[in-house]
Amino acid sequence: MRAMFTTLIVALGVVLACDEAPSPPLAPRADYVPSGDLIALLPPSTVVAVEVRNLAGRWDELRAIPGLAGLQDRLLEKLGLDADDVPELAGERAVIAVVADGDARSLVPVAVLDPPSPEGALAFLGRANGLVAHEGRGAVWVGPTGRAGLVERIAAGNGTSLRQAVDFAALAERLPEGGLARAVVHPCALREHLGMWAEMRGSDAAGMLAALFRSDLEAVKVAGFRRDIVDGAIVTDAWVGFDTEVVPEAFTRALATPRGPAVLPADIPADVLLASSFRTEAEAGLAWLRTVAARDPRGPLRNFDFWVDEFEARTGRDVERDIVGALGERGLAFLFVGEDEGAIEFIAIFDAGDPARLEASLVDLRDWIAEQVWGRSLGLAMPRSWNAHEDNGAVYGLDLRSPFATLSGPVFQLANDHLVVATSRRSLRRGVLLVEGAESWNTPAWALGEQGPPDEIVLIRTTVLARVLAAGAVRYAGDDGWFLDAVGEFLDGAGDGHLRVRYEEGGLRVSSSLRIDAQRAGP
């Protein structure tokens, strides 16, 4: 669950509270239309809202950073706009939002602008490619031409406001003041959209992930981030607070329990895209899975307790003692470029408190999963468990065969009191080599602060990510490559990204930095 929260912060920014069921329609309020409060103009169906402050006043500062200016030019050129148009469009404040369109089961980007001259802004936008603009309720509304009707309805309003649905005051108490941008994600709207999307996808892997992510959102009470550009680096401060009425006591207890510091290998291979150190908290994770299963009787984990009971009955194992209890306190994860340029491989390394018990239990779990897959597919999928012996110990794997193809599953090995899990035997060997140098693991200098080492850290190599994007491994429907190419060029000139997570009472405090001005010294 915690990994989901961290991903949400990196990808979207901030999560706000909601009840278990989607919010009911809100009654119109006579005083809901504010003076100059653009976020209040957004509807409760808003999923993400990013408020950019004083963009016009800081535009020259931002344009002076070459990498950032180059990315801006690529994006503006695609829209048919010029960099000089931006201050006239944005004014002192602007909001970029993503609104859920329930009728189309899709997300629509919308901008809310308060330009010095609405007439001039509408004239500029009238020349833009693929954009439609409306003036309404004292603001200029911008969206894609294909969703002109939705943009017009949002611009007109219906008497409800995003500020009625989230507690912005609680968020402000946890974050520093000021900044270039402040953002919010409304999880009720996001969760409802994910539910519809998962239902549309059915039982495939993407639908299952969407349903699990939707369940994670139920546990968040209040969160947010503040972002600024300081001395050539993008700096972010974020907070994610948990809803104690939803999160099981085992999870909150785990947050309050001190653990060892976050560490990474001293020498990380050059092809590693992402390296992270995290607290395992297996007991808390198991409690959360059971909570999700109990709260959603139609969800993807509705049979979780049955699966656990069936596994324990068949094997004589106890999940809490033989797997959860046999894991240690900390884990490491790595994403790196595989042999095929652009292909990504994965390694996870866990401390093992009881290696022999953990190894035997995981072998039983692998064989039980293979049996379940074979039976539930009526023999169309043919799992094959295999064992191999190498100089440094036994290797265990699981392949899946069908009449059309063979899929190589994960492999694992116990080495030097660590569990190593990987996507292939090649990546497994790399993980074992990292474990052999575990005595050199330490807390990087960039992760240290006045409060000491954080609980979790993430290193992102932007130059490696740029290589992956250039190889075309990441594409989405309707993309002709220009956007990801522009992002790749920007990342290729940036420094490494650093993310730090600290556990506090009731939630997680997240901070990150990404250097985008290579001419200045810094982390």
Q: What mean pLDDT comes out for the span 303-331?
A: 92
Instruction: Give the span between the Cα atoms of 99 and 106, in whole angstroms.
Output: 9
Task: Write out the DSSP string of 245-273.
Answer: TTS-HHHHHHHTS--PPP-B-SS--TTEE
Ranked by mean pLDDT, the top range of 131-145, 236-250, 338-352 is: 131-145
pLDDT of residue 480: 60
Residue 426 has pLDDT above 50, yes or no: yes
Q: Residue 71's closest CA among 414, 500, 354, 484?
A: 484
Percent pLDDT > 90 in the chain is: 43
Instruction: Give the span between the Cα atoms of 89 and 112, in whole angstroms.
Output: 10
Domains of the chain, by residue range, sit at 2-25+35-205, 279-441
More confident site: 95 or 258: 95
11-30: burial string, b at 16+ Cβ within 10 Å, e else:
ebbbbbbbeeeebeeeeeee
pLDDT of residue 518: 54
Residue 34 has pLDDT above 50, yes or no: no
User: Can you count the helices (H) and strands (E) in the chain?
Assistant: 16, 18
Residue 491 has pLDDT above 60, yes or no: yes
Residue 53 has pLDDT above 50, yes or no: yes
Identity of the amino acid at 443 = T
pLDDT of residue 32: 36
With cut-offs at 50, 70 and 90, classify the pLDDT of residue 384: confident
pLDDT of residue 13: 31
State the average pLDDT for the chain.
83
pLDDT of residue 287: 87
pLDDT of residue 379: 61
Ranked by mean pLDDT, the top range of 108-122, 184-198, 206-220, 388-402 is: 108-122
pLDDT of residue 10: 33
Q: What mean pLDDT comes out for the span 388-409?
A: 82
Look-up of token digits 């064989």: 367
In the structure encoding, which two tokens stand for residue 130, read together?
Answer: 């693929």
In the structure encoding, which two tokens stand for residue 382, read together?
Answer: 């043919």
More confident site: 380 or 209: 209
With cut-offs at 50, 70 and 90, classify the pLDDT of residue 404: low
pLDDT of residue 243: 84
pLDDT one-digit tens code per residue, 1-29: 444 333 333 333 322 223 233 333 333 33
With cut-offs at 50, 70 and 90, classify the pLDDT of residue 304: confident
Look-up of token digits 């004239």: 123
Residues 238 and 510 sit within 8 Å (Cβ to Cβ): yes
pLDDT one-digit tens code per residue, 504-518: 888 899 999 999 875
Residues 402 and 381 sit within 8 Å (Cβ to Cβ): yes
Residue 378 has pLDDT above 80, yes or no: no
Look-up of token digits 């094959």: 384
With 0-12 CB in 10 A as exposed, 13-18 as middle and 19+ as buried, what is 404?
exposed
pLDDT of residue 363: 96
pLDDT one-digit tens code per residue, 105-159: 889 999 999 998 898 889 888 888 889 999 999 999 999 999 999 999 999 998 8
Residue 521 has pLDDT above 70, yes or no: no
3-state secondary structure 80-149: CCCCCHHHHHHCCEEEEEEEEECCCCEEEEEEEECCCCHHHHHHHHHCCCCEEEEEECCEEEEEEHHHHH
Instruction: Give the span between the Cα atoms of 428 and 414, in whole angstroms.
Output: 11
**Terminal CA-to-CA distance of the chain, rounded, Å?**
29
Among 114-118, 304-308, 409-413, 485-489, the range scoring the smallest mean pLDDT is 485-489
